[in-house]
Amino acid sequence: MHAKQMAAVIDAECFQSQHGLIVRELAVVKVDLDASSLECAQHCLFEAPFDESLLRAKHRRCNRWLTAHMHGFEWAGRAGGGGEEYTLLPQILRAATSLATEEIFCKGEEKRKLFSALVQRPVINLETAGLPKLSEVGVEPSLSCKFGHRFSDHHCALQKACLFAKWLLQQQRAEGGYNIFYL
């Protein structure tokens, strides 16, 4: 009997800062490649690692736009922002991806670099595997968000991770095996 073929798909809703991306919502979906199934391994919010007043003006403007038009999350400093302590992000992410015997995936080069550094192993950018625009993925998400986004679910990390995972499974079936994962 062989070990289960497990992959992981990570997505996040982020803010911008002079230090790079700041994760506000994190989702990790485990993908069982043998059973062609998926499940949520982690879905949580993080408090901001520092007060918003420490951001450069251009990042504050960008983040306020993201809040008003995209994910709807407020920048929340350490005092009562809700969510996990930001310092726990690497530990939470490594735990959620630890069962991945195959690759770990995400969408976007900036996120790939961030997640790879946090999990301390390679992460593959799905755009290099031909992932189309979110509106063209052609599958429906099957996991529900518990955070109630103000806008479309297309700005929910869990919904996107689920869509990306389903797309991966669809590609795996079309390729007749796991060779899509060896990019």
Which residue spans within the chain are E strands per DSSP? 6-17, 20-32, 37-45, 104-106, 124-125
> What pLDDT was estimated at residue 177?
56
What is the rounded distance in angstroms from the CA atom of residue 150 to the CA atom of residue 74?
11
Q: Are 68 and 10 in contact (CB under 8 A)?
A: no
Domains of the chain: 6-176 (3.30.420)
Q: What is the pLDDT of residue 72?
A: 83
Contacts of 25 (CB under 8 A, 6+ apart): 12, 13, 43, 44, 45, 46, 71, 73, 147, 156, 157, 158
How does pLDDT run along the chain (183 residues), one tens digit per residue? 556 789 999 999 999 999 999 999 999 999 998 888 999 999 999 999 999 999 999 999 999 999 888 888 888 754 445 689 999 999 999 999 998 988 999 999 999 999 999 999 999 999 998 998 887 887 777 777 777 666 655 688 998 999 999 999 988 888 765 555 544
Closest by CA position to 48, among listed 69, 70, 23: 23
86 Cβ contact partners less than 8 Å away, ≥ 6 residues apart: 22, 23, 46, 47, 48, 49
Mind listing the pLDDT tens digit for each residue in 161-180? 999 999 999 888 887 655 55
What does the pLDDT read at residue 2? 59
Q: Are strands 124-125 and 6-17 parallel, antiparallel or unpaired?
A: unpaired
Strand partners, 84: 46
This prediction's pTM: 0.89
- The pLDDT tens digits of the residues spanning 120-131 come to 999 999 999 899
Per-residue pLDDT at 81: 55
